Amino acid sequence: VGELIGGSQREERLDYLEARLDELNLNKDSYWWYLDLRRYGSVPHAGFGLGFERLVQFATGMDNIRDTIPFPRVPGSAEF
Please compute the mean of the pLDDT values over residues 6-31 and round it to a whole number: 95
DSSP SS3 for 49: strand
CA dist., res. 61 & res. 54, Å (int): 10
Higher pLDDT, 71 or 44: 44
Give, as one character, the DSSP assignment of residue 63.
Answer: S
| pLDDT at position 62 over 70 | yes
DSSP SS3 for 47: strand
Helix axes of 32-39 and 14-23: crossing angle, nearest 10 degrees: 150
Q: What predicted TM-score, i.e. pTM, was given to this entire model?
A: 0.57
What pLDDT is recorded for position 80?
A: 60
